A and B are shown apart, each in its own frame.
Chain A
Amino acid sequence: MISAPATSTALSVTGLSKRFGGVVAVDRFSMQADGHGVVGLIGPNGAGKTTVFNIITGLVPADAGSVRIGEDDITNKPTYAIARLGIQRTFQNIRLFDGLPVLDNVAVGSLPRRGVSLKAGRERAQALLDEVGYRGRNDVRPSELPYAFQRRVEIARALAADPKILLLDEPAAGMHSSERDELAVLIRELQAKGLVIILVEHDMALVSRVCDLVIVMDFGHVIASGSPADVRNDPRVIEAYLGGAE
């Protein structure tokens, strides 16, 4: 379903590897994603999901393998350059600018582009905060907000940069069930607008609802992939999560 021909906005990751000392964090990891669905990246803690995000966004250099947007090789480019090429992300451990009010936090997503004034950036930020369903105040510092609100601010900031590809690292963490429902709707809406979305998430109910393709990682490589239903019944996946019968 997801293996449609590569469009210019498709993200393809091939043979990615990364070692930290003696630990193989990512081991010949490959995946494809385009605008035809939401890709869920799941796996037990330490499987290498966040490291994959870090390599894609240039925060951590890859030892081997390549990351491409369409035909463009972006492997190991500087983070800011990759961001400008259309990849945005949120962080598992939220990274907002705590000396700035919420509105400016979001505006920073669009400010690095030439010709975007602070006023225009703030107007866009306001529109995006509404779009992602943020209902808090705009003039407070992010640390004064509950987690669920902070996560929305991060998503709004990512959208402010007009990304083609959006990487969400555990966006539902710290949210209660009705907030998760809203998040699921939001992710679906963004996908419908043609955004390529890759989601790292532990909440299987959310993954089942929003993802078209699920990739399961363990010890740095892919152990299974397919529709949420397929993956849930895959014995290798069950073994990875629950441990083998040795």
Chain B
Amino acid sequence: MVIVAAGLVPVFTDDQYLLDVLTEAGLFVLLGLGLNIVVSLAGLLDLGYIAFWAVGAYTAAMLASPQFHLATPFLLLAPIAVLVTSVFAVIIGVPTLRVRGDYLAIVTLGFGEIVRLSLLNGGSNITGGWSGIQAISRPSLFGYSFGYELQPYYYLIYVVCVAALVAGHRLRTSKIGVIWQALRDNELAAGASGVRPLTYYLLAFGLGAGFGGISGLLFATKQIAVSPDTFTVDQSFLVLAIVVLGGLSGRFWPVAISAVLVISLPELLRGFQEYRLVVFGPLLVLFIMVRERWPDISRYFGKRMRALPAIGNPGSR
């Protein structure tokens, strides 16, 4: 129900500000779902995930803009962006996945910055340097060309988000998903059962990055301009916050809800003006605390709910 309602928002309003916030939220839903594969399913802490958003966005920017005088059609651009991002993630994964835990977090943090700085120093004739790439072609699907209006972007991002949610759910409940969770819970025992950890970790990196790639593509073709200063490390932390608030259980549902919450909340707090982030931080902490204690809280209110997913029990699916 919530899903269908979310899809109908533009029917009831053409408030461009609202749609802008919600499309932004949609892009972060995709990022959250992608990082959820890596962090909550496979159990790898990645602090440089935003690099994959950048790779997806810049792939789209380079292949559909005057930068290289290319005009790749959108339907071709999408698989290319996903593929390039996934391959890039695997290439980064091979050296970084030699370490685990805190060390992996530090190495991925470093790689995230390397990607941003490479884009910044890429030269005006390749990545466009600090000013990035402009005049990216807007999407054109089945003869319909996107314009300034946000409604079509909203529908497009909405459809991709729903598809990503379904894909995520199916991944989690598949053979690969079960093996990922086994690795997450006890890598040593999974290895002793015959699981080759690197294979499945690279798969998680690659597939997770694919979600980031498609989000980057949508971001670039919606903004029609990309520049390195979008892909800073605090954006990586924001996506991680979305995943953590989503419960780290491996489920994708709570992560999507968490993403909408985390992105739209600062907008709802605009009334606090310059103090809004001061309010936002403690609110996030509060959410996580409530989530953490949800079994106690629900018991207190006399409802018997099953343990884990706090905000992850939407009765709609």
Contact = CB atoms under 8 A, between A and B. Distances in A.
B151 interface: no
B178 interface: yes
Contacts of B105: none
A159 to B, nearest CB: 11
A97 B250 CA distance: 13
A237 to B, nearest CB: 30
Given A95-B188, A98-B185, A99-B185, A161 B178 contact: no
Contacts of A100: 178, 181-182, 185
Given A99-B250, A100-B178, A118-B175, A108 B193 contact: yes
Interface string A151-163: 0000001101100
A80 B193 CA distance: 7
Contacts of A104: 178, 181-182
B196 A80 contact: yes
Nearest to B184: A99
Interface in B161-214: 174-175, 178-179, 181-182, 184-186, 188-197
B192 A108 contact: no
Nearest to B307: A141
Contacts of A79: 188, 191-192
B192 A89 contact: yes
Q: Bin the interface of chain A by size.
A: 20 to 34
A111 B178 contact: yes
B181 A112 contact: no
Contacts of A89: 192
B67 interface: no
Contacts of A118: 174-175, 178
A108 B191 contact: no
Contacts of B184: 97, 99
A97 B193 CA distance: 12
A80 B178 contact: no
Q: Bin the interface of chain B by size.
A: 20 to 34
A59 to B, nearest CB: 7
B182 A108 contact: yes
A98 B249 CA distance: 11
Q: Chain A binding site: helix, strand, loop or mixed by DSSP?
A: loop
B110 to A, nearest CB: 27
Q: Chain B binding site: helix, strand, loop or mixed by DSSP?
A: helix
A96 interface: yes
Contacts of A105: 182
Given A97-B182, A99-B249, A112 B189 contact: no
A88 interface: yes
Given A107-B178, A111-B175, A97 B192 contact: no
Contact of B186 (A97, A109, A160): A97
A183 to B, nearest CB: 20
B191 A99 contact: no
Contacts of B178: 100, 104, 107-108, 111, 118
A17 interface: no
Contact of B194 (A84, A96, A107): A84
B186 A96 contact: yes
Nearest to B175: A118
Contacts of A80: 191-192, 194-197
A91 interface: yes
Nearest to B174: A118
B317 to A, nearest CB: 20
B194 A59 contact: no
Given A91-B189, A99-B181, A113-B194, 9 more contacts: A59-B188, A59-B192, A79-B188, A80-B197, A88-B193, A108-B193, A112-B194, A112-B196, A161-B193
26 contacts: A59-B191, A78-B196, A79-B188, A80-B192, A81-B196, A83-B192, A83-B194, A88-B192, A88-B193, A91-B189, A95-B188, A95-B189, A97-B186, A98-B186, A99-B185, A104-B181, A105-B182, A107-B178, A108-B182, A108-B195, A111-B195, A112-B179, A112-B194, A113-B194, A117-B175, A157-B193
Interface of B: 174-175, 178-179, 181-182, 184-186, 188-197, 249-250
